[in-house]
Structure 1
Amino acid sequence: MGRKYLALAGALCIVAVTAGGCKSSEEETVKNIKIGVTLYDQYDTFLSEMMTEFTEYAADKEEESKVTINLEILDASKSQLTQNEQVKSLIEKGCNVVCVNLVDRTEPTTITDLAENNNVPIIFFNRELVAEDLERWKDLYYVGADASESGTLEGELAADAFKENAAMDKNSDGICQYVVLEGEAGHQDSIVRTEYSVNTMVEKGVETEKLGYAIANWNRAQAQTKTAAMLTQFNGKIELIIANNDDMALGAIDALKASQIPKEEWPGVVGIDGTDAGLDAVRNEEMLGTVYNDKEGQAQEMLNLAFAIATNGTKENIPLIDGKYVRTPYHKVTQDNIEDYENKQGAVD
């Protein structure tokens, strides 16, 4: 099956095999199910790649089970109000289950109330809501990974590189001078990834000094602009750039390429997600490493859970924690094991 990367423009309806999106039918049986999805931002690279995997797994599941799976995937364009309306619309169209990539993790109440009042289960994914909110109703679930683990592994990547490569310590003071590119201000994943990455470096014996940080909202272009400013501000003092995701790490690399700094004098750059472009940067020795966020595993687990819910099937083979959570592990990616993860991505090509 060829990889079908999505160009999600506006509200995109993807339908496997049959037309009709999420429109209900009196003749519908377990042989025809409807799954709605709403994304916080269709232009998020990780989400786009995850949705490609999700649609391909849905097609595979359809062929295996002989159940028609209709998908409708919508973009909330970073608006919680828009997302609330999308969930309402998907429920009204008769979706058996709705998968929600929350815009604002602290504001799921409208969605959970809609779900409970209409008895339509919700699978939240990738952007984790507050634990107490997931307990509001029995048919709320979460599929994703542990942000603290990603920060820990990113810190290990950075610490190992600093200890093994003396050239990273530009001023030979034994201290790693670093800057941070953070996602959204106040967002849990941003805070946790930053905290755990730096704390892990210290725990692994690397003394650190924070020179500065910038909010780049998970965005490559914003990260390029912010990094360029910090390169000027700190004028050769930066030894490490810690980015909360690969897109921002790549933005830092774009800024370095546009600067007058020779590549051998670049600060080290580490990221999180293991996107296609992020893996390319590791292979090209532009990034020290990235932390692989298992989009294939998350897509498959979310599809399996949604399918089980929609068909009233068993959840016995789904690795639910406390009956609510499915968590996939992160993995460190460096030059030493890059081929393993490129092969993983190519497995569905």
Structure 2
Amino acid sequence: MRLLKKTLVFIETIIIIVTMIFLYNDKIYAKTIDELQKPVRVGVLLYRFDDVFISLIRQSLEEIQKNNPDKVEFTFYDGNNDQSVQNETVGTLLKNNSVDFILLNVVDEKRAEEPINMIKEYNIPVVLFNREPYNISTIQSYGKSYYVGTNPPEAGILQGNILVNAWNKNKAAIDTNGDNILQYVMLMGQRDNKEAIARTQYSVSTINDNGIKTQELALSVCDWERSIAKSNFEQLFLYYGNKIEAIIANNDEMAIGAIEVLQKYGYNKGDDTKTIAVVGVDAIPEAQELIKKGEMIGSVLQDPSAIAEASYLIGMNLFYGREPLDGTQYKFDQTGVAVRIPYKEYLG
């Protein structure tokens, strides 16, 4: 009888313990499911809010969130073109556990290791985009760090091709002094920026490789800004005037700044005899309209939605512990950490 009672007590105890374990695990499971159902928190750190192309990337990310409201939540932070400001933002987000991963449009490409090392300490993923660190080893140094951008020489090559084709199609319209040399002004983004250096170099070398001689009348560094390009180019135009046969700008914002000067003085307003060839990069909507009206010869499309999509997908894969390119058609280049989105020629 005593043995039976002991056995019953033992069985009851086991039942209670198993029930408690089941209820406890059920609560944990429910909590885990609840956490998984919450949108992934992504901090998007932009080098500056007022850059037109960066604004297009932001709009593309906002569209991704709109289409995936239960999956992701982007919060945007302005670096104000100051790496110290961006570093402070990174530090605050990490200390407050405010993000699950970071999309980083670094301010100073030579100081990218500063935010990356901060993020590395907290072991969360980071995807850099658009502004490539001066040394790719900075990204390679952290296993949860990747880059989405473009192939810098490609934009310059396509710019050069646009001018070569225009020259071959109607040389007289461009070579206005008939000396068989293309006299041009170069509007450069930044001296130490990889994209700016490559666009500047390869646009001209492509023209030369196609048998057209060139002469650089002036090179002006305009920090990617329309207002600076407008101010700097006006001084150049007043000095060189109609000796300028082409304007090669590292981006559309600077190209448009130059066009505003040309139009102020009666050029590029529809009269073929008073039109100077202008080519840019990005194919932003305003540039597309100028190209359609014949006031700008062409641009090179850098697709903001493609950059946003790749950055988002890689970041989500990393957050969920998957391989960075899992379920995508992207491929890494020879660095093993960079995805390059192709440029496209835009002629309207």
1:328 matched to 2:337? The reply is no
Q: Specify the SS of the correspondent of 1:30.
A: helix
1:293 matched to 2:302? The reply is yes
Q: Which has the higher helix share?
A: 2
Counterpart of 1:137 in structure 2 is 142
Aligned ranges 1:8-47 → 2 under 5 Å? 29-32=35-38, 33-47=40-54
Q: Specify the SS of the correspondent of 1:148.
A: helix
2:302 counterpart letter in structure 1? N
Deviations 1:21-77 (A, max 9, x none): xxxx99962222100011111111000011101110122234xxx43x221100000
State the distance in 2 between where 1:234 and 1:269 align: 16
1:195 counterpart letter in structure 2? Q
With normalisation by structure 1, the TM-score equals 0.84
Deviations 1:140-169 (A, max 9, x none): 100111111011111111111122122111
State the distance in 2 between where 1:30 and 1:320 align: 28
Counterpart of 1:154 in structure 2 is 159
1:329 counterpart letter in structure 2? P
- How many residue pairs are counted as aligned between the two chains? 307
**Structure 1 residues 233, 194: CA separation in 2 closer, same or farther (over 3 Å shift)?**
same
Q: Specify the SS of the correspondent of 1:185.
A: coil
State the distance in 2 between where 1:230 and 1:317 align: 51
Deviations 1:182-217 (A, max 9, x none): 112322211111000000001112111111111111
From 94, 97, 103, the counterpart of 1:99? 103
Q: Specify the SS of the correspondent of 2:339.
A: strand
From 77, 84, 87, the counterpart of 2:87? 84
State the distance in 2 between where 1:298 and 1:328 align: 7
Q: Any gaps of 5 or more consecutive residues in structure 2?
A: 1-30
State the distance in 2 between where 1:58 and 1:70 align: 6
Deviations 1:237-276 (A, max 9, x none): 0000000000001101111111144643121000000111
Counterpart of 2:77 in structure 1 is 74
From 247, 259, 275, the counterpart of 1:266? 275
Contact (CA 8 Å) 1:90, 1:98: kept in 2 or not?
no
Q: Specify the SS of the correspondent of 2:36.
A: coil
State the distance in 1 between where 2:262 and 2:142 align: 48
Q: CA RMSD in A?
A: 1.7
**Which stretch of the first structure deviates more once superposed, 220-229 or 288-297?**
220-229
Q: Specify the SS of the correspondent of 1:235.
A: helix
Larger radius of gyration: 2
